[in-house]
Chains A and B, each alone.
Chain A
Amino acid sequence: MTEAGVALRLQNIRRAFGDLTVIDNLSLDIVAGEFLAILGPSGCGKSTLLRIVAGLTPPDSGTLQITPPDLRFQNAFVFQEAHLLPWRTVLENAALPLELMGVDAAERTARARATLAEVGLADAESRYPAQLSGGMRMRVSLARALVTKPRLLLLDEPFAALDEITRFRLDVRLRDLWIERGMTVIFVTHSITEAAFLADRAVVLTRRGCGVKLDRRLDLPRARDNDLRLSPQLAVEMQALLGAMEEEG
């Protein structure tokens, strides 16, 4: 049931918007099944990089190689806000990707229900987004991304707008889901704490996205819970990331 994640190789990626070059000559290798956090100052091209990987924005030059190569419907994207369809119930929102891919109604309902249960929303399936809290909406958004069993999950500062306790809970849930499913995860954030807590590897981009400032493997346990947040191990990793960020800030 668990499908392995995909591996990615980005080579000499460049992307400009008009005169503004946001990514220049960026190369990065991502191992299959890795949990990678991408950090960087605002405007450094993190989100653009994620959109290039998702196929939503084409790079001006450079190559993106994905192994195994057919990425059609294997990736999923979680945006900065939940971006649900407000006229649909939670269940219909979670089932949307399957619906668009042409999966029949009975199967997509069953799969959407199972995925909602995984994010702790089994009881909310017939509610509408307007009736949910911000944290619950983000859970629906996460379920919508996971419902296709993606082999690559891309998240663009997904929990930034949530209160801290909700964010802590969702961090732990996301980490557990990653362990259960073995997909490749790329998590873009500007929060050092969140990057260190979630990822196995953190990459800090330079101010103008021209390159990788720091590429660090995080020496932390595989299974993580909120106790880790106060541990000295996490503090060491955060300090390393903070140092690199400060030099770029």
Chain B
Amino acid sequence: MRKALPAAIPFLVVTLALEWLVRAGFVPAFLVPPPSAVLQTMIHDWPELFAALLKTSAGAVIGFALSAIGGIAFAVFLSSSRAIQRAFYPYAVFFQTVPIIAIAPLLVIWFGYGMRTVVASAFIASIFPVIANTLSGILSTDPALRDLFRLYGATSSATLWKLRIPAAMPQILTGLRIAGGLAVIGAIVGEFLGGQGLGSVVDIARTQQRTDKVFAAVLLASVLGLALFGFINIVSRLALRRWHASEQN
């Protein structure tokens, strides 16, 4: 609780300031709804919003899980030789540079309306940081330790599981932390065009000029992002607390 307090203060200050600005008439309510109206909408439309939150969560979490598994596996593949890196890394960069909003319509054509498009969008938006961080972690494995493994005739799978993956773990977790937020964004973009969830709630509320509902949905989306971030932090804490400086206070 005490740890959450510093983060709660800016939230309260901004919320109260916003409420005051709108009520005093400095900002028109149809542009920025007063926080009290957002809260009312949240309560009134809770069944609809909660159902949308669950759908978005499912899409984002599945997309994130696929990025985590696929990204780590692809980075391991890339790390196997310099030639392979040269041949395939540029295509990994594609995932980072492609504007997800621009290809989302294509995803709808390929995967149809529904969960599959949302998952694909979350996956594409979030895989690159996993690949890049895992690869850099694996490639910076201590050369002396690689020599040591060679000296005792370690198989390449033993070297991978007992040395390279654990050594890259801090960087893998950094990649996953970034990927978590991107997966939520990707899921919402997917839902804008081809799914049901917070993204479609935002899209519909926008056309109805219900800014209060847009804000309520956006708020829930950021809560989802925070939850994913918190989950990865817990995993990181458990995995690294014994040995890595980043998790030892």
Q: Which residues of A contact B (CB under 8 A)?
A: 54-56, 72-73, 75-77, 79, 81, 83, 85-87, 96-97, 99-101, 128-130, 148
Contact = CB atoms under 8 A, between A and B. Distances in A.
Contacts of B148: 77, 79, 83, 96-97
Contact of A130 (B150, B153, B154, B242): B242
A112 to B, nearest CB: 14
In this complex, the interface size class of chain B, counting residues with CB under 8 Å from chain A, is 20 to 34
B144 A79 contact: yes
B51 interface: no
Contact of B166 (A83, A87, A99): A87
A87 B169 contact: yes
Given A56-B147, A85-B163, A85-B166, A128 B242 contact: yes
Contacts of A96: 148, 152, 162
A183 to B, nearest CB: 16
B158 interface: yes
A55 B152 CA distance: 11
B151 interface: yes
Interface of B: 142, 144-145, 147-154, 158, 162-163, 166-167, 169, 242-245, 248
Contacts of B151: 54-56, 75-77, 97
Nearest to A148: B152
Nearest to A72: B153
Nearest to B149: A100
Nearest to B239: A87
A100 B162 CA distance: 9
25 contacts: A56-B147, A56-B150, A56-B151, A73-B152, A77-B151, A83-B144, A83-B148, A85-B163, A85-B166, A85-B167, A86-B243, A87-B242, A96-B152, A97-B148, A97-B152, A99-B162, A100-B152, A100-B153, A100-B158, A100-B162, A128-B243, A130-B242, A130-B243, A130-B248, A148-B152
Given A73-B152, A85-B163, A87-B242, 16 more contacts: A55-B151, A56-B151, A75-B151, A77-B148, A77-B151, A85-B162, A85-B166, A85-B167, A96-B148, A96-B162, A97-B151, A97-B152, A100-B162, A101-B153, A130-B242, A130-B243
Nearest to B169: A87
B165 to A, nearest CB: 10
B161 to A, nearest CB: 11
Please list the 6 inter-chain residue pairs (A to B) with the smallest Cβ-Cβ separation, ordered nearest first: A86-B243, A100-B152, A83-B144, A100-B154, A87-B243, A97-B152
A129 B158 CA distance: 21
